[in-house]
Amino acid sequence: MHSSDVNKLRQYMERIENLEAEKAEVQDNISDTYKQAKNDGFDPKVMKKVLRLKKMKTEDRESEDLLLDTYMAALGLIPSFERESEQ
């Protein structure tokens, strides 16, 4: 390997190591924020789910919701629309 390539490799490795350290710090900050929210009475698990849903496209979220409702109704976990209309 040429010395210029070795230097490039070292620079990339150093940059990656620095970014990994920053990532760990950000993750710690996120964890601390969830802990603070929990102390204020919020549910971090639900907050994470809401954040995941916010990132989704509206069509994808609606499709997932419909499929979730279909599966839950099939398993008797929620009343199905068909059962309600039969009564």
**Angle at CA 35, nearest 5°, toward 30 and 39?**
145
**pLDDT of res. 80:** 78
H/E run at residue 80: none
For residues 41 and 51, give the distance between their C-alpha atoms in angstroms, rounded to a whole number: 17
In terms of residue numbers, what domain contains 71? 56-87
Question: Burial code of 65-77, b = ≥16 C-beta within 10 A, e = fewer?
Answer: eeeeeeeebeeee
Q: Is the pLDDT of residue 31 over 80?
A: yes
Same domain, 65 and 80: yes
Same domain, 60 and 83: yes
Same domain, 2 and 38: yes
**pLDDT of res. 81:** 66
Same domain, 9 and 45: yes
Q: How many domains does the chain contain in total?
A: 2
The pTM for the full model equals 0.70
